[in-house]
Amino acid sequence: MVTPFEEQPGIHGIISGYMGGSLENPTYEQVLTGETGHLEVVQITFDSSIFPYEKLLELYWPQIDPTDAEGQGNDRKSQYRTAIFYHNEEQLQLAEASKEALGQSGRFDKPIATVIREAEVFYPAEEYHQNYHRKNPEFYKESRIYSGRDAIIEKYWSK
């Protein structure tokens, strides 16, 4: 989820991590079990005068299958479910409006399953997960293919 955002003007930082679970300071191995309740997320720091929140939403939706409530592609554990975490009332309203517009767009034959939740404590992932796509480009490419993410993007968003 890092690559669509990293070169955009107004984006100051992207950190991979975990949010939404019950365990404090989870490790990747703990989250990977699917039993902590955490989702794998990215925290994006941005200048809203250059890159407004609506633009984050516009870039987010085409990276996922928003109708899949159980994960993404071949990644079926709970940490792969899609979510938008908001930090204030304005972000909540914008996220809900964006989700509603997507649902009414006619692009999908199933309802939008992506949840919108209030942001909770964010736990940065281990250092080896930060900029993983750059540190391990070949394995990252293989993982994208195996996960089905590129096929999802092609199926739903190529039009």
**CATH code, domain with 133:** 3.30.1060.10
Place of tokens 């409006």: 97
Q: Residue 68: which pLDDT band, with cuts at 50, 70 and 90?
A: very high
| CA dist., res. 30 & res. 101, Å (int) | 36
Q: Residue 152: which pLDDT band, with cuts at 50, 70 and 90?
A: confident
Q: Please state the rounded mean pLDDT for residues 115-123.
A: 98
How many domains are contained in the chain? 1
pLDDT, tens digit, 9 for 90 and up, residues 92-117: 999 999 999 999 999 999 999 999 99
Predicted structure pTM score: 0.91
What is the reported pLDDT for 79? 94
Helices (H) and strands (E) in the chain, counts: 7, 5
Residue 102 structural domain: 3-157
For 120-123, which contacts have Cβ atoms below 8 Å and span 24 or more sequence positions? 120/19, 120/20, 120/85, 121/19, 121/24, 122/15, 122/17, 122/18, 122/19, 122/41, 122/43, 123/17, 123/18, 123/19, 123/24, 123/25, 123/26, 123/38
